[in-house]
Homo-oligomer: A and B are copies of this chain.
Amino acid sequence: MLEFTFLGTSSGVPTLTRNVSGLAIHYGKAKEWILVDAGEGTQHRVQQAKLSLQHLKAICITHVHGDHCYGLVGLLASAGMNGRKDAITIIAPKEIQQWLEATRHLTELFLPYPLHFIDSHTLNSTFQLDEKLSIDVYPLHHRVPSYAYAFKATSIQRKLDHEKLVQLEIPKGQLWGDLQQGLMIEWNGRTLHGKDFVIENTQHVSAIVCGDNDQPELLKDACKDASLLIHETTYTQAVLDKVGSGPMHSSAKIVAEFAQMISLPNLIATHLSARYHDAVGVQKIHDEIAAYYHGHFYIADDFHRYALSASGELALIK
């Protein structure tokens, strides 16, 4: 129901293997997707991951730091040069809108499509992107205002009420098909409506995608119905202790402890300091999470794709 493609998993600076933050989310509508954060080089990752800017429906920016937003203007410019006409919704701190406006003015950037801005500082109700996806915003704790976005995907399965059809002795075939499609049919002198023979099964699944944050416990309410939390683990606890609280990032340990405390079913750790970009570093983050959290978790890497099913099961696709 939700599919996550990591376009960047590095904290602060890009390295040869990991770009700065960017996450593509497909939500069950053909090719449409949304983007969370757009560090510099996100449009390059979009090309490499074979995603299309034509099908990008919305962009959520978690906070104003450059490694989460400096790729936004180039991505929007390229979408324009590729002939995009459809509006893009941008949910972001209002400073992002101001920055885009300053950039458009000073660099004479022309976008041949509209942008719809929603200020994450003041968005305090659920934003319904379309019938398949709603978005809620939760404040986090970082050096600048930072947000988590809760994505709730809805899917409706429609199946025919076979029992009822058999009871009325309606023959299988064309008539059943018409009813399933919601059409009206004539049968034995009666008019029958498709909607009366279809059982709708609505399913929801939620995932929380976080900006930089040093207080995972702020997400307690947000995570109540969530099947997945995607959170930064910039350092191990030992390094966080050495670096100090100045950068206001989380260690693997505090994220893992929080996930364990709330019995979170699935966790994806991302936003790793460059010191953890080799296999040894990833293992350190992995081991620290495993020591404190007994749920299902992954350490994201660039181009990792994960699927979250309607029943809340998470799997690494590739």
Chain B residues contacting A108 (CB-CB under 8 Å) are: 64-65, 143-144
Interface digits, A96-117 against B, CB 8 Å rule (1 contact, 0 not)?
Answer: 1011001100111100000000
Partner of A103, one of B16, B43, B99: B99
- Per assembly, the copies of the chain total 2
Given contacts A69-B107, A106-B95, contact A78 B43 (CB under 8 A): no
Chain B residues contacting A74 (CB-CB under 8 Å) are: 20, 39-40, 66-67, 70
Task: Give the distance in Å from the alpha carbon of A96 to the alpha carbon of B12 in the complex.
Answer: 23
Within 8 A of B (CB), among A42-85: 43-44, 47-48, 64-67, 69-71, 73-74, 77-78, 81-82
B107 and A47 within 8 A (CB): no
Chain B residues contacting A14 (CB-CB under 8 Å) are: 43-44, 47, 78
Query: Interface residues of A, CB < 8 Å — how many?
Result: 39
> Is A41 in contact with chain B by the CB < 8 A criterion?
yes
Given contacts A41-B41, A73-B70, contact A13 B82 (CB under 8 A): yes
Partner of A102, one of B65, B77, B102: B102
CB distance from A146 to the nearest CB of B (A): 11
> Is A15 in contact with chain B by the CB < 8 A criterion?
yes
Given contacts A13-B81, A66-B73, contact A99 B95 (CB under 8 A): no
Task: Give the distance in Å from the alpha carbon of A81 to the alpha carbon of B234 in the complex.
Answer: 15
Task: Give the distance in Å from the alpha carbon of A99 to the alpha carbon of B101 in the complex.
Answer: 11
Chain B residues contacting A48 (CB-CB under 8 Å) are: 16
B15 and A107 within 8 A (CB): no
Given contacts A13-B81, A73-B70, contact A106 B43 (CB under 8 A): no
Chain B residues contacting A44 (CB-CB under 8 Å) are: 14, 19, 40-41, 44
CB distance from A43 to the nearest CB of B (A): 7
Besides A20-B74, A69-B107, A70-B73, 11 new A-B residue pairs in contact (Cβ under 8 A), listed by A number: A13-B77, A19-B44, A40-B71, A40-B74, A65-B108, A66-B103, A70-B107, A95-B107, A98-B106, A99-B102, A102-B102
Q: Interface on A for B, CB 8 Å cutoff? A: 12-16, 19-20, 39-41, 43-44, 47-48, 64-67, 69-71, 73-74, 77-78, 81-82, 95-96, 98-99, 102-103, 106-109, 143-144
Q: List 8 A-B contacts (CB under 8 A).
A: A13-B78, A14-B44, A40-B70, A66-B109, A70-B73, A70-B77, A99-B106, A108-B143
